[in-house]
Amino acid sequence: MLKGVPAILSPELLKIMMEMGHGDELAIGDGNFPAASMAQRLVRCDGHDVPTLLDAVLRFFPLDTFVDAPVALMQVVPGDDTKPAIWDTYRRIVEERSPQAAGIEFVERFAFYDRAREAYAIVATGESALYANIILKKGVVVDA
């Protein structure tokens, strides 16, 4: 244990976040996301929800300020009338933790899968909300 580090961030996840460089992507999947079959590196966070994990990750993980949208969400499949309320929670967390890099894009389901396959790592969660998958593009750490 370390002081000030949220317990939800495992040593494995912290190591992966430290290894990642500018432009690398971290995908966080909900409980339905096929993380194990897609991941180059898989981190299990079973039993945890995405908003709590996202908030903890963004305390330490800089988002890329050189792109318009360093955050990607999976679009609702055409014909599905789901309205993901969790997206408002994500937007609030991103704006609070990274106000200078708060752009969010919506990516078609299979394009999102392709992008997740290329991510540096995928975090599998127990999130039960639908369309709760998110990809974060890492930026640079700038000490003020």
The model's pTM is 0.96
Residue with tokens 């897609």: 38
> The domain 11-137: what is its CATH number?
3.40.1650.10
Which residues does the annotation mark as catalytic?
22
137 membership: H or E segment, kind and range: strand 134-137
C-alpha triplet 38, 43, 44: angle, nearest 5°: 105
Position 88 pLDDT exceeds 80? yes
pLDDT at 101: 85
How high is the pLDDT of residue 144? 60
Name the residue ranges covered by the structural domains of the chain: 11-137
Sheet holding 25-29, edge to edge: 42-45, 121-125, 25-29, 134-137, 71-74, 104-107
What phi and psi values does residue 45 have, to the nearest 5 degrees?
-130, 45
Strand partners, 63: 138
Sequence-ordered list of residues with C-beta below 8 angstroms from that of 126, at least 6 positions apart, any chain = 31, 45, 46, 47, 48, 49
